[in-house]
Chains A and B, each alone.
Chain A
Amino acid sequence: MKQLSVNVLKEASKKLFFAIDETECQSLLKTFETILQKMEAIDQLAGIKTALPMVHPLDVKLSKLRSDIVKDVLSPDDVLRNAHDVVANQIMIPKVVK
């Protein structure tokens, strides 16, 4: 597992497109301390090694796939209603450098 540090947390926040300050890092490190310690204790649970990771709460399968029928199409107005800069019926953003 990755070693926790202020830098690791700051780097992680940068990748999530926001910044966290020193106080937030310290508070986070405390949260981590509590939770990671408890996560470690989970190793002691009987059967934890062989348990199947649980993704869905119920052990059920999807009963049907969606039929390929066009429905619920938005008007361009609705598509763009909440965008701030619209040019030629498209959302304008500063040039994306590939």
Chain B
Amino acid sequence: MSKYQVTIGLEIHVETKTKTKMFSSAPNNYSATPNVNVSVVDMAFPGVLPTINLEAVRNAIQLSHALNMKIDPLVRFDRKNYFYSDLPKGYQITQQFFPIGSNGFLDVEVNNEIKRVDIERLHMEEDTAKQLHFDDYTLLNFNRAGVPLVEIVTKPCINDSATAQEFVDKIRETIIYLEVGDGKMEEGSLRCDVNISLAPLGQTKLGTKVEIKNINSLSFIKKAIDFEIERQSKILDDGGLIAQETRRYDQSTRETVLMRTKKDAIDYKYFPEPNLLPYRLKAAFIAETIAASKELASIKSERYQKLGVSKTQAKIILRNKEMAAYFDALLLQTDAIKELTNFFLGEFLGYLNKNNLNLSDLEFSQKHFASLMTLLGKGQISYSEAKEFFYRLVKEDLDPLTVFKDKDQAVDVLEVKNAMREVLARFPEETKKARDNNMALFGFLTGQCIKALNGKINPKEIAKLLKELLEE
């Protein structure tokens, strides 16, 4: 297997989230009812004209920026001409000559190693109609026709299937965190084509490129590539030549299957779209759009780490965007970050998993959860008390501040201090030594105070107050 240098490039199609379609004002949302989200433009009735959706352009800018790409301020579109049953106009409007994003990269972590994947281009285009295939006929549903797409094309710089899969996963995560799309591969809102070639090790010239089209799950990316490496290796081992062709991955046989050979390659006859004048993006608009981007997972991770959350912990929280959002909301309501993180990853996630619950199933107030963490952070309650209370919280949504009122800072500090002064008066020698930083006697005095106060206030707070008294 290692006799060949594997070179992989990816083309990823992303349906982006907008209210309307790329070039028409028909709704861009999923509907179970066919042909309800359609305008005259989507049907390519004679005489219709395209108009560019501002929101789709904003999505493309945000995604380009997240992928470290250069943004072309002059937005231009072209036509890709071909006949197909799902293509109403007989051409697709795309950005062949001047993609909005170019020359970017994305770092992915594979086996604890950071790999940089160079991205050649990101361009805007439109989706085709949905075909429903039956035994002897096909039904056409135009709800999807004209849905905004961006296509992301990497350079041929990936050398293994794991990196390819990880890259697509990272793209998916980026889309989801930016909220520019839902990134659902199974539903086709994220689709991937793989270009792959094998060449003898040491040879600089790339081998013959084979394209695998329309892979619709993360794991199939790896499987399709691995299969293809094996298939091509065998051919090369036997002294054969790789044919330049387009294949698809058949999930039932777990093989790639020939779709068409180079002989049938389509000449798309690209030319600039005459119905759309170029549009100049103002620098301020680009800046505002980027500034309005939702926080990426990688940025969130850095922010968490600055707060003391470990990288591994951050990774777990960020696996799910809604979870991260829930965590973020808690962060705004408590300073007890360490306690929160541990409790969140331990008890909280454990509870959800064990009961197979989603965040939306939770009925208690997040404020109460945050208060509980604050109490825990201040040492006013113990971990086991917090845990115990949490299970009451999920059922009854109690306010921990009410329940633990006597343990809260609502305790009269003056009264506590007076009681402690009495204790210190009873042990003058020890007090003097403790003032001279005798830690053992400091501990002894703390113990005496705890006893005297009889659990009215938590030990941590007592130690703090004692320190203050000794410094008086």
Contacts and interface: CB of A to CB of B under 8 A. Distances in A.
Contacts of B468: none
Given A76-B35, A90-B35, A61 B139 contact: no
Contacts of B54: 65-68
A76 B35 CA distance: 5
Interface in B133-161: 133-142
Main SS of chain B's interface residues?
loop
Interface string A1-28: 0000000000000010100000000000
B38 A90 contact: no
A95 B85 contact: no
Interface string B264-283: 00000000101011111000
Given A55-B272, A62-B277, A70-B27, A79 B35 contact: yes
Interface in B13-65: 18-20, 24-27, 33-40, 43, 51-57
A87 B40 CA distance: 20
Contacts of A60: 277
A56 B24 CA distance: 21
A94 interface: yes
Given A70-B26, A95-B133, A76 B139 contact: no
A36 interface: no
B91 to A, nearest CB: 13
B403 interface: no
Contacts of B37: 73
Interface string A47-78: 00000010110001110011111111110100
B132 to A, nearest CB: 7
A93 B140 contact: yes
Interface residues of A, number: 32
Contacts, number: 114
Contact of B25 (A61, A72, A95): A72
A8 B372 CA distance: 79
Contact of A55 (B26, B137, B139, B274): B274
B25 A94 contact: no
A66 B274 contact: no
Given A66-B52, A79-B142, A90 B25 contact: no
Main SS of chain A's interface residues?
loop
B83 interface: yes
A35 interface: no
B131 interface: yes
A76 B136 contact: no
B277 A56 contact: yes
Contacts of A95: 133-138
Nearest to B52: A65
B279 A79 contact: no
A65 B27 contact: no
Interface in B255-310: 259, 272, 274, 276-280
Interface of A: 15, 17, 53, 55-56, 60-62, 65-74, 76, 79-80, 87-96, 98
17 contacts: A62-B52, A68-B55, A68-B56, A71-B20, A71-B25, A72-B39, A73-B26, A73-B37, A73-B39, A74-B39, A76-B34, A88-B34, A91-B139, A92-B138, A92-B139, A92-B140, A96-B85
List 9 tightest A-B contacts by C-beta distance, closest first: A68-B55, A90-B139, A65-B54, A71-B25, A62-B279, A62-B277, A91-B140, A66-B51, A96-B138
